[in-house]
A and B are shown apart, each in its own frame.
Chain A
Amino acid sequence: MAAAGLEAEGLSAGYGGARILDAVSFSVPAASRLAVLGRNGTGKTTLFATLMGQTRRHAGRIVVGGRDVTSLGSAARARAGLGYVPQTRNIFRSLTVEENLIAGLKGRSRSALGEAYAMFPRLFERRRHRGDRLSGGEQQMLSTARTLLGRPSVLLLDEPLEGLAPIICEELMAALTRQAEAGTMTIALVEQKLESALDFADSVLILERGRIAWAGSARQLRAEHHVIERLLAVGAFAEER
């Protein structure tokens, strides 16, 4: 599947009666990289869950590759090209690494598993281990690899680096960067590690209380220290750079 653009228009959503997202609109061109930033509880995870059809949508529309997917269920959105790696790492813990990957083949032959192992050689070493015997980093790799095997045109990654050792973070971000540079998919990620997110992304959205508080390029954001300080509460970032 080729990379596809992603658009949200006036998106309001939440859980039950509670409204978490409020009139969020943005557009990500095909084959580009978006980072969604914001402090805890600003609606980042809800945004991705809403794009996947896993929350209650109050208003707005979602377009993937020019196709309006707003009325589709979660499974149909995935078939339309959305791939989602949630914060909870959606692996099946009772299955082995290899079984998890096979479950994500979506009609492809088993030889496609080689793509996952080439991307994350560590998974090959652990291929006979059950999901519940993997470290957090290995679970993240597995979840990402399984989603990528389905060849999504838009990949949504929710805090892929959370709780991972620095070396695993580097390994994971290197693999994602290779995918992004291949231009075969559009990648949007929610990330708390600001430097990693800005190194990776072309463009950035910052959410504040369920609304877009700032949007621009990663380069622009690096220059606007006051935005980082005010919206992300990361005072030391400018000095560190």
Chain B
Amino acid sequence: MAWNGALPNIRAWPDAAGIGSIALTILAGYLVFPDDLALLARILATSLLVVSLDLLVGFCGIITLGQAALFGAGAYAAGIAAVRGLSEPFSLLAIGAAAGGLTGLVSGAIILRAHGLAQLVLSIAFAQLLAETANKASWLTGGSDGLSGIAPAPLFGEFRFDLLGRTGYLFSAAVLIAVLAVLRAIAGSPFGLLCRGIRADPVRVRAMGVSVYPALLKMYIISGIVAGVGGALSAITTQVVGLDSVGFDLSASALVMLVLGGAGSLYGALLGTVTFMLFQHFVSAENPFHWLTLVGVLLIAVVLIAPRGLAGAARTIASRLVARWHPQASR
């Protein structure tokens, strides 16, 4: 198509089709697996953690193994608020987002001072510090017993968070879709694209007039907000917050899920979370002793066969199909 002076296809709201597909998949999950909605709600909350990690790892090239700190901060903040009398779900989400964002600001300010392995070690140290604080402050967090007694008020004053997890699932789905829509818009904005530029070459980005550290810190705060929302969702839907929500295992699992799904597109983070957690659920039920071995085998297979993750493999297959059927379009 030749330039004729008019700008076509500049979308104000990118990826409506992608987000629409996710919404349809979530709806299908509701209809097909009505007995597993509690599990599916947990998957959606964890998806937000992995998506938040993708913002740092996939977009900015920040190496971190402490993302659970941001998730756990949101979960504990929402849980503590709920236990102390504030039970309105949207207020709890806002508290979780604020706590995650603040933790992102503090941890990002420290972690971004370093690079490479030093950055990785700092991220682990920060998360461990937060986990130990949560453990010691048992009067506030419940310590190793976990924080229980979280009883969120009915959604819009009407819909109770029932044991089957229907309200929790639909609420989580709506929040996830809204967050994804905002994040895709951020990803396609000059700021989001510059963050991807920083990952490729920070020197080039500096030559474009962008200060790298503040840009990365801004993304860290956004990541913290997203993880905090995920943590708050987890607290609301499971009605308990344990030390595992700030633990190293969760940080490591989130990174595994991201690698499995493919970093840098947000959709890969979703795909990786769903695949990993469903695999974990069903395989551990079938084979409680060796399921971790099977998870290891799956990961090795994906990394070797599809190094850009499941989403990357799907994109490659799609572009080959397009090239075969519509050679003009692929040129």
| B212 x A95 contact (CB < 8 A) | no
Of A104-112, A198-206, A213-221, the stretch lying at the interface with chain B is A104-112
Contact with B along A61-94 (1 / 0, CB 8 A): 0000000000001111011000010100010111
Most buried by B among A92, A104, A106: A92
Contact check, B207 vs A54: say whether CB atoms are below 8 A apart: yes
Contacts of B210 in A (CB 8 A): 75, 78
Q: Verify B7–A113 contact, CB threshold 8 A.
A: yes
Asked whether, in the complex, the Cβ of B10 is within 8 Å of the Cβ of A75, the reply is no
Query: Given A92-B197, A103-B193, A121-B3, does the pair A113, B10 have CB atoms closer than 8 Å?
Result: yes
Distance A52 CA – B204 CA, assembled complex (angstroms): 11
Q: How far is the CA of A102 from the CA of B208 in the complex (A)?
A: 12
Least CB distance from B315 to A in Å reads 12
Nearest residue (CB) in A for B215 is A75
Q: B5 contacts A114, CB within 8 Å? A: yes
A118 at the A/B interface (Cβ < 8 Å)?
yes
Contacts of B157 in A (CB 8 A): none
Residues of B within 8 A of A100 (CB): 193
Known: A92-B196, A95-B193, A106-B209. A117 touches B3 (CB 8 A): yes
Q: A92-B196, A94-B196 are in contact. Are A150 and B209 (CB under 8 A)?
A: yes
Least Cβ–Cβ distance between A86 and chain B, in angstroms: 7
B206 within 8 A of A: yes
Digitize B200-243: 1 where CB-to-A-CB distance is under 8 Å, 0 elsewhere. Answer: 11011111111110000000000000000000000000000000
| Residues of chain B within 8 A of A73, CB atoms compared | 206, 211
Residues of B close to A102: CB separation below 8 A: 188-190, 193
* B73 contacts the other chain (CB 8 A): no
Given A114-B7, A121-B3: A78 in contact with B208 (beta carbons within 8 A): yes
At the interface, yes or no: A162 with Cβ under 8 Å from chain B? no
Chain A residues near B206 (CB-CB < 8 A) = 73-75, 78
Interface string of B237-259 (1 = CB under 8 A from A): 00000000000000000000000
Per a CB cutoff under 8 Å, which of A74, A94, A103, A111 touches B7? A111
In the bound complex, residues from chain A placing their C-beta under 8 Å from that of B205 are 75
B1 CB contacts on chain A under 8 angstroms: 124-125
Q: Does B270 contact A (CB under 8 A)?
A: no
A90 to B188, CA, bound (A): 19
B194 contacts across to A, CB distance below 8 A: 103
For B209, list chain A residues within 8 Å (CB). Answer: 75-76, 78-79, 106, 150
Give the contacts of A158-189 with B (CB-CB under 8 A): none
Q: A90 and B207 in contact (CB under 8 A), knowing A117-B3, A118-B5, A124-B3? A: yes
Say whether B190 contacts A74, CB under 8 Å. Answer: no
- Report how far A94 CA is from B204 CA in the complex, Å: 14
**Interface: B2 (CB within 8 A):** yes
Of B1, B193, B194, B201, most A-chain CB atoms within 10 Å: B193
Number of interface residues of A (CB under 8 A): 35
B2 touches A121 (CB 8 A): yes
Question: Chain B CB within 10 Å — which of A74, A76, A106 has the most?
Answer: A74
Interface string of B126-138 (1 = CB under 8 A from A): 0000000000000
Cross-chain contact B207 with A74 (CB below 8 angstroms): yes
Q: Are B203 and A54 in contact (CB under 8 A)?
A: yes
User: Which residue of chain A has its CB nearest to the CB of B191?
Assistant: A103
A86 CB contacts on chain B under 8 angstroms: 207
Q: Is the beta-carbon distance between B2 and A125 smaller than 8 angstroms?
A: yes
B196 touches A95 (CB 8 A): yes
CA distance A204 to B197 in the complex (A): 34
Contact residues in B for A79 (Cβ distance below 8 Å)? 209
- Min CB distance, B140 to chain A, in Å? 42
Contact assessment for B201 and A90 in the assembled complex, using a CB-CB cutoff below 8 Å: yes
A125 vs B1: C-alpha distance when bound (angstroms): 6
CB–CB B196/A74 < 8 A: no
Complex Cα spacing A73 to B209, Å: 9
Residues A75 and B3 in contact in the complex (CB < 8 Å), given A90-B201, A94-B200, A103-B197: no
The residue among B188, B190, B211, B212 with the most chain A CB atoms within 10 A of its own CB is B190
List chain B residues, Cβ under 8 A from A106. Answer: 190, 208-209
**With A74-B206, A94-B200, A99-B193: A110-B7 Cβ-Cβ less than 8 Å:** yes
Bound-state CA distance A117–B10 (Å) is 13
Quick one: given A92-B196, A102-B193, A113-B10, are A118 and B3 in contact (CB under 8 Å)?
Answer: yes
Q: Which residues of A contact B203 (CB under 8 A)?
A: 54, 74
Q: Provide the residues of chain A in CB contact with B10, threshold 8 Å.
A: 110, 113
Interfacial chain A residues near B196, Cβ < 8 Å: 92, 94-95, 99, 103
Known contacts A73-B206, A114-B6, A117-B7; 8 further A-B pairs (Cβ under 8 A): A75-B205, A75-B212, A76-B211, A102-B188, A105-B190, A121-B3, A124-B2, A147-B208
24 contacts between A and B (CB under 8 A): A54-B207, A73-B206, A75-B205, A75-B211, A78-B207, A90-B201, A90-B204, A90-B208, A93-B200, A94-B200, A95-B193, A99-B196, A102-B193, A103-B190, A103-B194, A103-B197, A106-B209, A110-B10, A111-B7, A114-B5, A114-B6, A114-B7, A125-B2, A125-B3
For the complex of A and B, 5 pairs with smallest distance between CB atoms: A78-B209, A124-B3, A121-B3, A103-B193, A74-B206
* Chain B residues in the interface with A (C-beta under 8 A): 1-3, 5-7, 10, 188-190, 193-194, 196-197, 200-201, 203-212
